Structure 1
Amino acid sequence: MTGAQARPARREWSGEIGGRRRPLAESRGRQYALSARQGGEYAPLLRSGEGPARKEAIVIPAHKYTVIPRIPDRLKELLRIGMNLWWTWDPEAIDLFRRLDPKRLLWERCYANPIRMLGLVSQERLVELTTDEGFLAHLERVGAKLSSYMERPAWFAQAHAGSGLRVAYFCAEFGIVEGLRLYSGGLGILAGDHLKSASDLGIPMVAVGLLYRRGYFRQYLNADGWQQEQYPEADYYTLPLTLEQRPDGSPMAVEVEFPGRKVQAQVWRAQVGRVPLYLLDTDIETNRPEDRAITGYLYGGDRDLRVRQEILLGVGGVRALEALGVEPTVCHINEGHPAFLCLERIRRVMVQHGVSVAAAREMVAASNIFTTHTSVAAGIDVFAPELMERYFAPYYAQLGLSREAFLGLGRQNPADPNEPFSMAVLAIRLSGATNGVSALHGRVARRMWSGLWPGVPVEDLPITSITNGVHVRGWLSHDMAGLFDAYLGPRWISHPADQSVWERVEQIPEAELWRTHERRRERLVAFARRRLRVQLEQRGAPPAEQELAEEVLDPKALTIGFARRFATYKRATLLFRDPERLARILGDPQRPVQIIYAGKAHPADQEGKDFIRQVVHFARRPEFRQRIVFLEDYDIKVGRYLYQGVDVWLNTPRRPLEASGTSGMKATANGAINMSVLDGWWDEAYDGTNGWVIGRGEEYEDAGYHDQVESQAIYQMLEGEVVPMFYTRGRDGLPREWIRRMKSAMRSLSPVFSAYRMVKEYTERLYVPAGQRWHSLGANGLERARALATWKERVRTHWRAAAVRSVEADMVAPLEVGTTRPVRAEVGLGSLSPEDVTVALYAGPLTAEGEIISATVSEMKVEGSPRAGAYLYAGTVQGQTTGLHGFRVRILPAHEDLGNPLAMNCITWG
């Protein structure tokens, strides 16, 4: 018999769904969830109950073969369209696949997976469609549209022709469509939108991730409202995935070295418009069971499994691109998870070009971009030195580094032997550019990582920001898209970041906009009722209680949406600080208000799970039963219904812990109005007319007091402004003031907080410059990279001699605005020369503590010849604003190939 050897699996019972116990498997001393329908062995279970004695089960090996749909020739185009995820943001393509099922039910049951759907549609139906001229015309139209999309020149080809840019976008998760469960939340959804917009813009990009057999969990709640997790197994052969092959037709595989063994990973491709997404998969028979589990779960397992996942993503990802013949000029590292790619890129450059680790580091770091997506230290992966030693000891010699020098790459203080290895620190140290994902997050990130640049003012740290955006077309309802087509014209699709296009929102008749929005709210309520009934059925609720699901929510009532990851800092229970007051607001018979909640807590986050339980228990109270609903298993599908149907999008993070947030952006494009704390993107988005703000951007040390203040602010805003505005109607039944605010939000926010703008900004500010530096430093056998590395070593060796010996400036008399005053400084450089440094005046307003803020920097020039080993530098201080000001003289390294001089950690003040 061929195939895997028979392997015994123990089975136990735990977790209730619909009143039935579900089987679980336990293997190798760990617990694994096993669906009664599917089986499996790789789902770590975090909660188990008592049940019957274990029963033995035998896994019988099988001969493998693949079954594919038998598609008539006239319908073959369906496969081409279905295998390119471009269809996920083309409404006409989605409608095409919906038409395969006359009852229009199969599409949602397949989780919007056209490949799976083609396998489930009966052969008789497929044959019937070959004679349906309307369907065939629809198919031809969509196929032609896809071909045109793939072939026509896009923005990048016109703006940066001949740049030689090739970006590799690395991320641990990707959220593109609900049927491809490779995401857990905002990071993955953002990555999906990034790829879609990169495709629209024609950015030469590939993406790299992991293909998780069980992905992130499916959520259900037990009778007491506690979150439970399921991990259904994905069938890759019924997904829009292609297994990459060698020229001989065998599956392509890459190897990654682990202690005492080599782990193989095959490579799958998901085509996202013009962008190929390559996904590594270790669940193959040549690997040990513990290594097959590397790509079992997103964010599952212990630290050992996590480090193996990140080695596979970073090191294996670079090797996969090499095997595919893809040579990126820029690597975009999203969060710290893929940061090991920096080490592998350095090793490869050393081997290919025979250069030192220093020269290779210059070339690689110049072409790496690191985006941090979190404001919470707990969101950063760190590994114990012993764990790093286990997996990376061979790398020390390959890179020519000592153990401490290697581990120092991931430490804020390289001299501290006890400090763990931080993936974010590694990424920052080995990247030429680092950015946060909103203006506020950029400031927070500079504070978080200030220890990496001692002596540098926090506001000057080399961490910038590019605010997130969303792929508007992919989240917009068909109804709203139809309005935009009619009144905004086609440029809202081709140029979604063009402000002039969105000014035309004012041309949409108020009645049409409001009726469109009301239809979406009605659909949301209908969806919520169906979903709630299924939840009750699965929980085994009595029939009478199930029937009550048809009575919850009111399709005409003011509807608030709150859906996100249930991390405690997002404060999902903030509205329940005063239940009686909330009940009065929601229960007003003349002006009813309702709230729809959805979201998942991380399986290990017990506090987050308790927040869900609290929400569920409040929703069951008689005064809230018809006004508050919690929808289980929050995913792209649930999110889309909410964004498209709510009136108000509520966001209550504890400032400044929200890095950006994008759900409110999606809701805005669909006509919802944001009510949010001034955190993340909303801190720069709110203008006084396009939504509501909770508080004024305060930050509190007392969390309880903070919650009390802001919960009261929400109640007051609902009672005094939001609810009255919604229910104040004209004779035609239209809430005109509300509609004006809707339009203001859509007009001012949609073009700015667009992924089209975001990716364009990454390209102009980071990708293209990084690609140019890759080519420049790598030319002529890395001639300039070698020279830069040598220069840096010399400057660091002699930097201690750089000093400001004296400063001359007459600042006794006040300086008038608009005038200048000369400053001279005597600067000692030792064996360095003026060509090695920049000497500048650093001037600005002074705080009460004597700190210079909002500084302006003006370069000083050398005057005359050196005297007594020192140079005389001259410059001027300019009076720009009134008040108490100060200046200092700053010395930094200078070189034509140096990226950010602050990154060298050589800075002298005087």
Structure 2
Amino acid sequence: MSQLHTPPVELDLPPSRSGSDLQHADDIYGKLWALANNLWWSWQPECDQLFRDIDPIRWRQLGHNPIALLREMTPERLADRAGELVLHSRINYAYRRLQEYLTSTQTWAATNSGVLGAKPVAYFSAEFGIHESVPIYSGGLGVLAGDHIKSASGLGVPLVGVGLYYSQGYFRQYLDDDGYQGEDYLETKIENLPMQDALDADGNPLTVSIDTRTGELLAKVWLMKVGRVRLYLLDCNIDGNKPEDRELTSRLYGGDERTRIRQELVLGVGGVKALAALGIDPGVYHLNEGHSAFGALQVVKQLMENDGMTFDDAVQQAARATCFTTHTPVPAGHDRFPPELVEEHLGPLRDSLGISEEELMALGRVDPDDVEETFCMTVIGFKMSRCANAVSNLHGIVSRRMWHSMWPDRPTNEVPIGHITNGVHVFSWLAVQMQKLYDKHFETDWKQRIQEPEAWQSIHAVDPGELWETHNALKNHLLSFVRRRISRQCRRRGEDDAVVEAARRMLDPRILTIGFGRRFATYKRANLLFGDLDRIAEIVSNADRPVQLIYAGKAHPKDEPGKRFIREIANMRHDPRFAGRVAFIEDYDINVCRHLIQGVDVWLNNPRRPLEASGTSGQKVVLNGGLNCSILDGWWGEAYNGVNGFAIGHGRSHVSDEITDRRDAEALYDTLENEVIPCFYDRDLDGLPKDWIKRMMHSISTLAWRFSSHRMVADYTSKSYVWAAGGVTCDMRYR
């Protein structure tokens, strides 16, 4: 089995040139290249700043991509630049820290992960959002997966990731003159990504093959290093595939139903085959959503071939080692395929398992005997696992109701679906200024204890003025970013110089600033605030206590209602009542999200309850002192305690969506007018909003630890992974 705890530190460099006069340049270049080729750098502020200082303008232009930056510079030029800026000691320090991090055995998992040291976790996800320079994600699911493997790295949990490499990613969003979303698909230069060939046992680049009824599918396997975690990505754009199959992994969530099932076949079956070829023998398979559930059947096949098991015994063994996480209570979010597509793609695997077409289809049907029911990836995920969870307490309740028919002989509250609430990777989302504040006032070891509540209680000892000053510095940084982006959008559309200049002067740091950033699915109701234009106009333009709003988010290319929501909000800029007070930022990504969640006063979330499974954007806001104003859905339903933010409504929903929306809109206006706005603008003699700052402190102390991905991964380890790998049972729901 491959060694997962202490991977070697590899420079991934061209052969070093000879000559003592070049040795120093090669040393600097080599160390920076080693840093750039492990995404550990992306959550280390000193590394980010190091690359930024080399060339600030190109750093921004290249999308914060250190490999693209280094490729533009010769070792000699880089050495000269390092000398000019006196970077040598910083480079050596960062490189030494990376080596120490990779080789350290003093981790949380060393004493808490039990048998996983010999039986690593294989974590499958259709997308991974690690950093904006690696565009293989679309939104929340991918960013969660990225945060999951970062925390697994930080805690030292033995884990490998498995995903797909999308050469064109999701899409780049732009708005036309009418505010309507358009999509651009740009090819990513693979040489500018921190990826290398994954090598098989003979040291050759690894390619796996998957048989289908219509021919063989091939996928090359890439390796990406994320701290201590190795992430393997499968890529179908290789010689030997048909032209249409070479495009199979080009776009995330693109194409038709046939494209989707083929992508999921490559991810699941191809991913399991890749791990076997790499010599990795997982003790646990974690399926993050149903996209990879076909992989469980490949595990069954391997058990039958390697250990001589019967199909039924192999299913039991594979399911015992599989954990499944479901992420959505929205029916459209669960992939379903007709029998003919399933047989076309799973037929050869079914033959090797020795089961009939109906037996295979039954694995993906709620009712195995219903021949009219399609094959559901979520259903096979449940059936092929013995440990299943939702992603918040409320989502667990909803999921047990939603899937109760799979266990009709059990009461709803005994349906075997537990919950582990999502969390976020603290150091990926924490602003540098806030980290410095915490370093100054918290216990010296707080960074090693971020999943412990005690680590965050020192926030109450921070001077209110210092906390408020830090927040306002971040707010000013956000507003500068928004002005740049909006003025750039105006220039691209060819708008008048006066419009561009107005964009450069929009927004005021003294005004209460509300942010909204997420996928523009209709159930998230991005336009809820604009249901009564006269009322929101009065709120926004109030002479004494005004409000300004910043929106960002993408709609799926086929989601016309979501696109109409975007157009409605983006075009508010043409209404004199909202001019300069409502902004829509194009092309929402990790970078835009980072700016928003670090600088807003309030993060708005108003989904139609209970359709928000968890939501993690508001958890990122907590780390930076922003306050949440949200419907009591997803994570906020278990987070809000009355003094650590604001609640919209009372956690109820009507059977009529129309009535629910009308009632929630009224509650939103009331919360803003009677709670949020007065609390923000009521100031003491020093000009400080004392009650607001108290809420900020309560938010940080009660929520930052609880909704961190370190806590989340620790929960998965103790409640799921250790049990699935053969350890003791804890308090998750098993079957």
In the superposition, relative to structure 1, how do residues 69 and 651 fare at CA in structure 2: closer, same or farther (>3 Å)?
farther
Deviation at 1:258, TM superposition (A): 2.3
In the superposition, relative to structure 1, how do residues 900 and 146 fare at CA in structure 2: closer, same or farther (>3 Å)?
closer
Q: Is 1:125 aligned with 2:86? A: no
What residue identity is the alignment partner of 2:420?
Answer: I
Once the two structures are superposed, what CA deviation does each residue of 1:281-303 show, in whole Å capped at 9, x if it has no partner?
11012211111111111000011
The correspondence of residues 484-499 of structure 1 with structure 2, limited to 5 A, is 484-499=438-453
What SS does the corresponding residue of 1:172 show, helix, strand or coil? coil
Deviation at 1:556, TM superposition (A): 1.6
Q: Residue 386 of structure 2: which of 428, 432, 437 is its match?
A: 432
Work out the CA distance in 2 between the residues paired with 1:236 and 1:398.
36
What residue identity is the alignment partner of 2:61?
Answer: R
Q: Residue 158 of structure 1: which of 111, 123, 141 is its match?
A: 111
What SS does the corresponding residue of 1:77 show, helix, strand or coil? helix
In the superposition, relative to structure 1, how do residues 280 and 68 fare at CA in structure 2: closer, same or farther (>3 Å)?
farther
The correspondence of residues 473-512 of structure 1 with structure 2, limited to 5 A, is 473-512=427-466
Larger C-alpha radius of gyration, 1 or 2?
1
What residue identity is the alignment partner of 1:387?
Answer: L
Q: Residue 718 of structure 1: which of 654, 672, 678 is its match?
A: 672
- Bigger mean CA deviation after superposition, 703-712 or 270-279: 703-712
Q: Tell me if the contact between 2:63 and 2:133 (Cα under 8 Å) persists in the aligned partners.
A: yes
Q: Name 2:590's counterpart in structure 1.
A: 636
Work out the CA distance in 1 between the residues paired with 2:115 and 2:381.
29
Work out the CA distance in 2 between the residues paired with 1:301 and 1:133.
48
Once the two structures are superposed, what CA deviation does each residue of 1:15-59 show, in whole Å capped at 9, x if it has no partner?
xxxxxxxxxxxxxxxxxxxxxxxxxxxxxxxxxxxxxxxxxxxxx
Q: Name 2:404's counterpart in structure 1.
A: 450
In the superposition, relative to structure 1, how do residues 549 and 123 fare at CA in structure 2: closer, same or farther (>3 Å)?
farther
TM-score (norm 1): 0.77
Once the two structures are superposed, what CA deviation does each residue of 1:463-519 show, in whole Å capped at 9, x if it has no partner?
000000011111011100100111113333111011111110011111110000001
Give unpaired runs (5+ residues) of structure 2.
1-12, 18-24
In the superposition, relative to structure 1, how do residues 67 and 536 fare at CA in structure 2: closer, same or farther (>3 Å)?
farther
Q: Is 1:134 aligned with 2:86? A: yes
Once the two structures are superposed, what CA deviation does each residue of 1:820-860 show, in whole Å capped at 9, x if it has no partner?
xxxxxxxxxxxxxxxxxxxxxxxxxxxxxxxxxxxxxxxxx
Q: Residue 604 of structure 1: which of 558, 570, 578 is its match?
A: 558
In the superposition, relative to structure 1, how do residues 247 and 452 fare at CA in structure 2: closer, same or farther (>3 Å)?
closer
Work out the CA distance in 1 between the residues paired with 2:282 and 2:203.
25
Once the two structures are superposed, what CA deviation does each residue of 1:321-350 show, in whole Å capped at 9, x if it has no partner?
111111101000011100000100000100
Q: Is 1:349 aligned with 2:349? A: no
Q: Name 1:419's counterpart in structure 2.
A: 373
What residue identity is the alignment partner of 1:131?
Answer: G
The correspondence of residues 587-598 of structure 1 with structure 2, limited to 5 A, is 587-598=541-552
Q: Name 1:279's counterpart in structure 2.
A: 233
Deviation at 1:129, TM superposition (A): 3.3
RMSD over aligned CA atoms reads: 1.8
Work out the CA distance in 2 between the residues paired with 1:389 and 1:374.
27
Q: Name 2:98's counterpart in structure 1.
A: 146
Q: Name 2:5's counterpart in structure 1.
A: none
Work out the CA distance in 2 between the residues paired with 1:359 and 1:220.
52
Q: Name 2:154's counterpart in structure 1.
A: 200
Work out the CA distance in 2 between the residues paired with 1:592 and 1:492.
38
Q: Name 1:654's counterpart in structure 2.
A: 608
Q: Name 1:622's counterpart in structure 2.
A: 576
Q: Tell me if the contact between 1:183 and 1:189 (Cα under 8 Å) persists in the aligned partners.
A: yes
The correspondence of residues 530-569 of structure 1 with structure 2, limited to 5 A, is 530-569=484-523
What SS does the corresponding residue of 1:337 show, helix, strand or coil? helix
Q: Name 2:648's counterpart in structure 1.
A: 694
What SS does the corresponding residue of 1:295 show, helix, strand or coil? coil
Paired-residue identity, %: 46
Deviation at 1:249, TM superposition (A): 5.7
- Bigger mean CA deviation after superposition, 740-749 or 396-405: 396-405
* Higher relative contact order (Cα pairs below 8 Å, separated by 6+ residues): 2
What residue identity is the alignment partner of 1:531?
Answer: R
The correspondence of residues 77-116 of structure 1 with structure 2, limited to 5 A, is 77-101=31-55, 104-116=56-68
Work out the CA distance in 1 between the residues paired with 2:722 and 2:304.
24
Q: Name 1:748's counterpart in structure 2.
A: 702
Work out the CA distance in 2 between the residues paired with 1:229 and 1:564.
17
Deviation at 1:769, TM superposition (A): 0.5
What residue identity is the alignment partner of 1:682?
Answer: W
Q: Tell me if the contact between 2:119 and 2:283 (Cα under 8 Å) persists in the aligned partners.
A: yes
- Bigger mean CA deviation after superposition, 557-566 or 118-127: 118-127
Work out the CA distance in 2 between the residues paired with 1:466 and 1:125.
50
Q: Is 1:522 aligned with 2:490? A: no
- Bigger mean CA deviation after superposition, 475-484 or 713-722: 713-722
Q: Name 1:788's counterpart in structure 2.
A: none
What SS does the corresponding residue of 1:689 show, helix, strand or coil? coil
TM-score (norm 2): 0.94
Work out the CA distance in 1 between the residues paired with 2:215 and 2:299.
22
Q: Residue 576 of structure 1: which of 519, 527, 530 is its match?
A: 530
Deviation at 1:546, TM superposition (A): 1.1
Q: Is 1:237 aligned with 2:237? A: no
Deviation at 1:162, TM superposition (A): 5.1
Deviation at 1:161, TM superposition (A): 4.8
Q: Tell me if the contact between 1:563 and 1:597 (Cα under 8 Å) persists in the aligned partners.
A: yes
Q: Tell me if the contact between 1:165 and 1:768 (Cα under 8 Å) persists in the aligned partners.
A: no
Q: Name 2:272's counterpart in structure 1.
A: 318
Q: Is 1:679 aligned with 2:633? A: yes
What residue identity is the alignment partner of 1:379?
Answer: G
What residue identity is the alignment partner of 2:243?
Answer: P
The correspondence of residues 316-465 of structure 1 with structure 2, limited to 5 A, is 316-465=270-419
Work out the CA distance in 2 between the residues paired with 1:168 and 1:287.
27
What SS does the corresponding residue of 1:314 show, helix, strand or coil? helix
User: Which is helix-richer, 1 or 2?
Assistant: 2
- Bigger mean CA deviation after superposition, 246-255 or 492-501: 246-255
- Bigger mean CA deviation after superposition, 82-91 or 70-79: 70-79
Work out the CA distance in 2 between the residues paired with 1:247 and 1:432.
32
Q: Residue 299 of structure 1: which of 253, 266, 288 is its match?
A: 253
Q: Tell me if the contact between 1:596 and 1:630 (Cα under 8 Å) persists in the aligned partners.
A: yes
What residue identity is the alignment partner of 1:229?
Answer: E
Give unpaired runs (5+ residues) of structure 1.
1-65, 777-895, 904-910
Deviation at 1:659, TM superposition (A): 0.2
What residue identity is the alignment partner of 2:80?
Answer: E
Work out the CA distance in 2 between the residues paired with 1:108 and 1:755.
28
What residue identity is the alignment partner of 1:685?
Answer: A
